[in-house]
Amino acid sequence: MMDRWKKDKNNKGLKITKPMVWGLPENKEDCYFCMTKTKGYNSLNLHKITYANVSSVTKPIISSTENVNVKDKEVNLCSSLDEMEIDGASDEEYESNGGTSESDNVGSEDKYVSSDKKNTESRTFNQEELSDLIRELGLPKDGAVLLASRLKEKNLLSKGRKVSIYRTRDESFRKYFTQDEDLVYCHDVTGLMNDLKKNVYKDEEWRLFIDSSKRSLKAVLLHNSNKYAPIPIAHSVTLKEEYKNIEIVLHKIKYSEHNWQICGDLKILSMILGQQSGFTKFPCFLCLWDSRDRKTHYVKIH
């Protein structure tokens, strides 16, 4: 529309001497569109909208008289268009320079930096914070080493922090585990718990969870109130949910010394309670009902 007005000097439809120019706002309070409330208005009450008056926007200058000199109007418009072209060119240079301009490079050392930004830039990870981050992300050994090395490259680790510590983070706990053919198990649960955190382990506060999937059979200690993290104490990728295998796992981890409460699915509990496998006469471990005697199933009490 501005180009059409510039070419058509006889056009008297627009009575402005300078168009409206939008600049780059510094914050939300300086944004013209954010501060102008247009919600709740329709075609009948559009005239009641109060437009924001912010420093980032130069409003158009409207002529007070109808007889506006076309040449003056053209000169003002050309100068405004030239300013807009210069601003556009400076924006292109800003983007091509990777977000920096010459004015930013000159005297950049003396540029004011807020205290919040300084604190953010100088914040680094210590060993405990990095270990907490790795634990929350659930990273394996190689993932923990990779994350620590990348943070160290960006100078986000405090001085004296080592990346190689995560390569051997399990060496101190290997003495509590034994590999016996297809099973890896913990032979000293009390020593493992005291090494993790002293004076917090009590047999009655933990329960044993046994379960298997298509990939592995595992036994994990769970805290009753979930105050502490789960502790895996047995694992196998070849053993399956069978009576003999469950008996082997319980014997290896010395279940008789701790007597944890056992939790698991119905199949595991049936095996532990000694239910007969196959097409059994008494399939339920909670009662001794004869499933084949259908006539007296709901009549016979004992």
Please write the tens of the pLDDT for every residue from 171-210: 888 899 999 888 999 999 999 999 988 888 999 999 999 9
Confidence check: pLDDT of 22 > 60? yes
pTM: 0.48
Asked if 283 and 272 touch (Cβ cutoff 8 Å), the reply is no
Same domain, 188 and 246: yes
HSE at residue 32, side-chain half, CA atoms within 13 A, is 13
Same domain, 194 and 253: yes
Summarize pLDDT for 64-112 with one digit per residue, the tens: 554 445 445 444 544 554 554 445 444 555 555 555 544 444 444 445 4
Task: Report which of 282, 270, 262, 206 is spatially closest to residue 241, judged by C-alpha positions.
Answer: 270
Q: Which is higher by pLDDT, 275 or 270?
A: 270
Task: Report which of 251, 208, 199 is spatially closest to residue 231, judged by C-alpha positions.
Answer: 208
Same domain, 177 and 154: no
Same domain, 219 and 259: yes
Same domain, 198 and 183: yes
Between vectors from CA 172 to CA 166 and to CA 174, what angle results, nearest 5°?
Answer: 105
In a domain, 189, yes or no: yes
Query: What is the span of the domain harbouring residue 146?
Result: 141-168
Range with the largest mean pLDDT of 157-166, 240-249, 273-282: 240-249
How many distinct structural domains can be found in the chain? 3
Same domain, 164 and 175: no
Distance CA 37, CA 26 (A): 19
Same domain, 176 and 243: yes
Confidence check: pLDDT of 149 > 60? yes
Confidence check: pLDDT of 251 > 90? yes
Give the residue-averaged pLDDT of 142-152. Answer: 88
Distance CA 40, CA 43 (A): 10
In a domain, 101, yes or no: no
Task: Report which of 176, 193, 172, 196 is spatially closest to residue 185, judged by C-alpha positions.
Answer: 176
In a domain, 270, yes or no: no
Same domain, 154 and 200: no
CATH number of domain containing 220: 3.10.20
In a domain, 69, yes or no: no
| Range in 182-186, 226-230, 295-299 the model is least confident about | 295-299
Query: How far is C-alpha 17 from the geometric centre of its chain's CA atoms?
Result: 53
Check residue 145 and give its pLDDT. 87
Confidence check: pLDDT of 262 > 90? yes
How many angstroms separate the first and last alpha carbons of the chain?
97
Same domain, 204 and 256: yes
Question: What band does 47 get if pLDDT is binned at 50, 70 and 90?
Answer: confident
In a domain, 254, yes or no: yes
- CB atoms < 10 A from the CB of 114, how many? 8
Q: Which is higher by pLDDT, 175 or 280?
A: 175
Check residue 279 and give its pLDDT. 60
Question: What band does 56 get if pLDDT is binned at 50, 70 and 90?
Answer: confident
In a domain, 4, yes or no: no
Check residue 128 and give its pLDDT. 84
Check residue 291 and give its pLDDT. 59
Same domain, 47 and 32: yes
- What are the residues facing 236 on neighbouring strands? 217
Same domain, 157 and 182: no
In a domain, 217, yes or no: yes
Same domain, 203 and 239: yes
In a domain, 22, yes or no: yes
